[in-house]
């Protein structure tokens, strides 16, 4: 669909976002990539850093051999730095890291070491710049996401319902709360672009109920819209039943089972989308190689349910689903913050 050609507007775009990350003249900045990274984004990151007067250098590692039983997609847990202590040291000594790996360092085991050195890390989602261009972050995004994070930190319970049949109860007291608006200014922190999410990682045994995915909801591990309803029964964090006679349900059952480990069925994080420019329907406009689905995680008013690794609950697995649902109502301690898929009050 697109020619992978460097465009001046995309250099400007990357430079604008990096400037929001407080990249300045003389800053030593790393561009982290792997052999299978999107070369266009790697080059744009370098040129944008040069335009800002920074001093970029590249850390390039081979994409590791795949050892998982099924393809791994969009986990936020890149394994490219395993065994590369010198690379980790170089990243941690940087002022800023443009993370152009396929999966991103969000849940990578080496991330704490990188952040401890004070680096600001921005994961540039593995999307074509055409996607990134529509989703430039702004200070207004930050203000909205921070407001949502405050509400989530103050809450003890989250209840999610929908006309399709979702009835989910989440204990969020003591959960680790996060939020992403698309850039980061503070040393020792990470964000990702596109942004626009509020979420939390609940403690063990916090999630119970039924999650009903309706036609038009998304399974972003598959980069696929559901065409038939799928019902997930969740007991003490774990999916214990996947009901549905459709291909959608069968694909989910097969991918869950392929991992051969119970924790692949457990909740990773829950939250909602905050980005008013992100569109749930944009996935149909792109070839799959041109998108990573981050936009669909962030569209305003979605309920995002994810399975897989949850460090707060002491669970580690590469099995991962990101499942954005439309038309849900989300309540924190009984107060509605999303009504039928629409953000309410100060979050709108």
Q: What is the pLDDT of residue 251?
A: 97
Domains of the chain: 8-124 (3.40.50.2300), 137-347 (no CATH)
Q: How far, in Å, CA of 308 to CA of 317, rounded?
A: 6
Exposed e or buried b per residue across 290-320, where buried means at least 16 C-beta atoms within 10 angstroms of its C-beta: bbbbbbbbbbbbbbbbbbbbbebbebebbbb
pLDDT at res. 2: 79
Q: Radius of gyration over alpha carbons of the chain, in Å?
A: 19
| pLDDT score recorded for residue 73 | 78
Q: Beta strand pairing status for 120-124 and 96-99?
A: parallel
pLDDT given for residue 286 in this prediction: 94
pLDDT of the residue at 182: 97
**Residue 180 token pair:** 């992403």
**Phi, psi of 298, deg, nearest 5:** -110, -5
Stated pTM of the model:
0.94
Calpha distance 306→304 (Å, rounded): 6
User: Residue 109 has what pLDDT?
Assistant: 87
State the Cα–Cα distance between residues 295 and 128, nearest whole angstrom: 12
| Alpha-carbon gap, residue 330 to 336, rounded angstroms | 6
Q: What does the pLDDT read at residue 108?
A: 87
Q: Structure tokens of 93?
A: 């000594």
Contact 277, 301 (CB under 8 A): no
What pLDDT was estimated at residue 1?
65
pLDDT attached to residue 185: 96
Per residue in 92-139, pLDDT tens?
A: 999 999 999 999 998 888 999 999 999 999 999 999 999 999 999 999
pLDDT of residue 25: 98
The CA-CA-CA angle for residues 45, 296, 262, to 5°, reads 100
| DSSP per-residue codes, 111-149 | HHHHHHTT-EEEEE-S--HHHHHHT---HHHHHHHHHHH
Query: Which parts of the chain have pLDDT scores under 50?
Result: none
For 58-87, the pLDDT digits (tens) are 999 999 998 888 888 777 778 899 989 999
Closest listed residue to residue 326, CA positions, set 340, 337, 345, 315: 340
Please name which of 114, 100, 64 lies closest in space to residue 318, comparing C-alpha atoms: 64
Reference 171, options 159, 189, 184, 187; nearest CA is: 159
């Amino acid at each position: 669909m697109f020619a992978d050609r460097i465009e001046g507007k995309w250099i400007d775009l990357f430079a604008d976002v990096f400037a929001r990350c407080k990249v300045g003249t003389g800053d030593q900045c790393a561009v982290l990539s792997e052999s299978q990274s999107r070369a266009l984004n790697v080059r744009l990151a370098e040129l944008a850093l040069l335009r800002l007067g920074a001093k970029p250098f590249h850390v390039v590692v081979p994409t590791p051999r795949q050892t998982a039983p099924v393809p791994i997609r969009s986990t936020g847990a890149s394994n490219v730095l395993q065994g590369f202590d010198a690379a980790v040291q170089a990243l941690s000594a940087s002022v800023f890291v443009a993370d152009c790996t396929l999966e991103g360092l969000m849940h990578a085991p080496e991330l704490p070491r990188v952040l401890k050195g004070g680096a600001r890390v921005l994961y540039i989602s593995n999307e074509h710049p055409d996607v990134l261009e529509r989703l430039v972050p702004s200070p207004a995004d930050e203000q909205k996401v921070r407001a949502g994070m405050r509400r989530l930190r103050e809450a003890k319970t989250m209840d999610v319902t929908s006309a399709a049949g979702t009835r989910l109860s989440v204990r969020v007291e003591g959960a680790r709360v996060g939020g992403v608006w698309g850039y980061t200014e503070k040393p020792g922190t990470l964000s990702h672009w596109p942004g626009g999410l509020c979420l939390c990682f609940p403690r063990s045994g916090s999630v119970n109920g039924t999650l009903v995915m309706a036609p038009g909801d998304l399974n972003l591990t598959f980069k696929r819209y559901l065409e038939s309803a799928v019902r997930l029964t969740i007991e003490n964090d774990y999916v214990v039943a996947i009901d549905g006679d459709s291909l959608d349900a069968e694909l989910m059952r097969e991918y869950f089972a392929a991992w051969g480990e119970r924790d692949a069925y457990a909740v990773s994080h829950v939250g909602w989308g905050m980005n008013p420019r992100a569109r749930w329907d944009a996935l149909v406009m792109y070839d799959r190689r041109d998108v990573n689905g981050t936009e669909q995680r962030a569209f305003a008013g979605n309920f995002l349910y994810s399975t897989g690794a949850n460090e707060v609950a002491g669970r580690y697995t590469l099995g991962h689903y990101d499942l954005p649902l439309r038309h849900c109502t989300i309540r924190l301690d009984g107060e509605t913050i999303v009504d039928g898929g629409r953000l309410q009050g100060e979050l709108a």
